[in-house]
Chain A
Amino acid sequence: MSEKKQRWRKIYTVVLVANLVYIILFYLITQTFDY
């Protein structure tokens, strides 16, 4: 099978970065209230 290489798309970076931002945000928010 000779398949065409799939390109990396900007939207993949968007999804991964968005999730990283969520995690950082969750961490910061919950850290503020975690004692």
Chain B
Amino acid sequence: MNTGSLDWRDWLVLSVTLLFIVSYGVYKTRKENNGVKDYIKGGNDTKWWTIGLSVMATQASAITFLSTPGQAFHDGMGFVQFYFGLPIAMVIICLVFIPMYYKLNVYTAYEYLETRFDLKTRSLTAILFLIQRGLAAGITIYAPAIILSYVLGWDLITLNIIIGLVVIFYTVSGGTKAVNVTQKQQMIVIFTGMLTAFFLIMKYMPDGITFGKALDIAGASDKMKVLDFSFDLSNRYTVWTGFLGGTFLMLSYFGTDQSQVQRYLSGKSLRESQLGLLFNGLLKVPMQFFILLTGVMVFVFYQFNASPLNFNPKANEAVISSAYYDEYKELERKHVDIENQKRTLLLDGVQDNERSLIYDLNTKDRALKVQAKKIIDRVAIDSDEKIQSNDKDYVFIHFILNNLPKGIIGLLLAVILAAAMSSTASELNALASTTTIDVYKRNIQQGRDEAHYVKASKWLTFGWGLLAILIACVANLFDNLIQLVNIIGSVFYGNVLGIFLLAFFFKKVKGNAVFYAAVVTQLLIFLIYYFGIYRLEDQGLEPIISYLWLNFVGSIFVIYFALMYTFKSNNLKIKVILTLTTLVLFTVIYDVIYTKLTITHVLSLMVLFILLGVFSKERKSLINGSND
């Protein structure tokens, strides 16, 4: 592994690229930001393509480019299904969310909730966002920094501080507009870097291995399964989880998370904002497919070139100095033997009579890798060190550092750092805006002049940036912090989405109903997580539900409780549907505990809630006055 210092050409490309992006952002926004509208909504003059690229850059963090190719390397193309719900969510947001935000001329998504419900619901939702996103911002810096520090030998703390300070510098200085214009450049660097890497991988294939033959090799190695139609929802990536879970997740992320909402609220007009999101809806799925395909091509590349048994350099170092070295060495010997056999077989492509042999060799190799991971886990326990045995984050960076030419390595590192910076910038920008508008301006200091709030927003961007750096620096001290932050996201997101769905689609539901429903839901979700997931996993048992489904559960619960509160004394038809919903909900809970969540559960719940939405709209006479 190339753990030494980078070549001067790489340093040159890396520093020039990043310096250009930052300077461009600061230069383009040097004369603006006279008022809150300029600073928080970028002066409302952003064009659709900038919004589209900005939305994509916000979602694509460094981990997207480090981890996704590694995911495809190990598990094939199935992960693309996770994004199938995204275009549907984009259309719903364009039809429902954006027009409402524009109509009320809001600065943050949560501001809308006060107009629709009340101040306490707005403040509660804003606080849920601040907790979740505040922690996530630190991880957005830490996750790529830890990987780069392992593979390049860079100091983790220094890297955290540099990434954080650079982002703070241009985000404080130029606000939303600086975030948007830098993200446009960052996406250009990302596209250029990924396309270059893909073409170089193809160029490095042995003579006679064309793109078609490479795909054939990937297919024979079980890497080309894109669609999985199985109905088992515990299987994380299927067509159904993509369309159902994916739509929910993307709706909550793009429709209610201020780090995304702020991107499209900076649009020149309603139409520009909508087009920006649709641009994302049009490009995201093929982009993810392309990133995964790059990972699959890295897999094919390593069918002809030596690869380590585990790509995490820290894991290999730890095993070498452990009591398990001989056992590990034996696994490595077998792995090299399999690699040699596959190389000989595949040099002329895949012949029909060789398919079962290739399949067997891959199965044996996978088993060796599983054994290697077990050894690494044992070494980690014995040495009381944190060593990641899952090496998917290290596959692509290993390929980059060991195979790409000087200068291009710098470009790919720029891709990773640009992605880290773009996501962090949106997060800091959104955290500061929400704190300024929803907390400070609304609850603490009303009636001050524009300059005061711009100044407050700048200081808050700086403060959230420092907190993110601090979290990134201490993240290494905690076990599984990255996963914890993802879990925190799922624990809060569903509730927040449910509140917004109630706001948009259940016209008769009022503030008190939503607020109390949200509080009860949050408590229940904490309990489900603690007793149904955390405690069971801690005892080595299967959780009753994957934490990713907490999004869906949270949304359903908050809508259900709010409807129960609202329609508690109304007519027969709505009571029948509510009773049916309650029965189905209990059946689902029972089934989830004793068997598994299935597609039928999800669909029946969705149909019942749609019926409730329809009835609550049509039967205006159902409600006598306000339920608030």
Interface SS, A side: helix
Encoded as 1 (CB less than 8 Å from any B CB) or 0, chain A from 1 to 34 comes to 1011010100110111011001100110110111
**A20 nearest CB across to chain B (Å):** 9
For residue B126, CB closer than 8 A to chain A, the reply is no
**A27 nearest CB across to chain B (Å):** 5
For residue B248, CB closer than 8 A to chain A, the reply is no
Interface SS, B side: helix
B116: chain A residues within 8 A (beta carbon):
1
Query: Does A35 lie within 8 Å of B99, measured CB to CB?
Result: no
Query: Does B115 lie within 8 Å of A1, measured CB to CB?
Result: yes
Query: Does A35 lie within 8 Å of B95, measured CB to CB?
Result: no
Question: Given A12-B94, A23-B84, are A34 and B219 also a contact pair (CB < 8 Å)?
Answer: yes
B225: chain A residues within 8 A (beta carbon):
30, 34
Query: Does B96 lie within 8 Å of A33, measured CB to CB?
Result: no
Total CB contacts across the A-B interface at under 8 A: 66
Query: Does A30 lie within 8 Å of B91, measured CB to CB?
Result: no
**A32 nearest CB across to chain B (Å):** 8
Query: Does B226 lie within 8 Å of A27, measured CB to CB?
Result: yes
For residue B103, CB closer than 8 A to chain A, the reply is yes
**B100 nearest CB across to chain A (Å):** 7
Query: Does B91 lie within 8 Å of A15, measured CB to CB?
Result: yes
Question: Given A3-B103, A22-B289, are A33 and B80 also a contact pair (CB < 8 Å)?
Answer: no
A33 to B226 CA separation, bound complex (whole angstroms) = 11
Query: Does B289 lie within 8 Å of A35, measured CB to CB?
Result: no
Query: Does B285 lie within 8 Å of A22, measured CB to CB?
Result: yes
Query: Does B88 lie within 8 Å of A6, measured CB to CB?
Result: no
Query: Does A30 lie within 8 Å of B87, measured CB to CB?
Result: no
For residue B195, CB closer than 8 A to chain A, the reply is no
Query: Does A16 lie within 8 Å of B87, measured CB to CB?
Result: yes
A12: chain B residues within 8 A (beta carbon):
91, 94-95, 278
For residue B153, CB closer than 8 A to chain A, the reply is no
For residue B282, CB closer than 8 A to chain A, the reply is yes
**A29 nearest CB across to chain B (Å):** 8
A16: chain B residues within 8 A (beta carbon):
87-88, 91
Encoded as 1 (CB less than 8 Å from any A CB) or 0, chain B from 98 to 114 comes to 01100100000000000
**B322 nearest CB across to chain A (Å):** 39
A3 to B219 CA separation, bound complex (whole angstroms) = 52
A30: chain B residues within 8 A (beta carbon):
77, 219, 224-226
Query: Does B91 lie within 8 Å of A26, measured CB to CB?
Result: no
Q: Could you list which residues of chain A lie within 8 angstroms of chain B, going by C-beta atoms?
A: 1, 3-4, 6, 8, 11-12, 14-16, 18-19, 22-23, 26-27, 29-30, 32-35
**5 nearest interchain CB pairs?**
A33-B219, A30-B224, A19-B87, A34-B224, A33-B215
Can you list 14 A-B contacts (CB < 8 A)? A1-B116, A14-B282, A18-B87, A19-B84, A19-B87, A19-B281, A19-B282, A19-B285, A22-B289, A32-B215, A33-B224, A34-B222, A35-B220, A35-B355
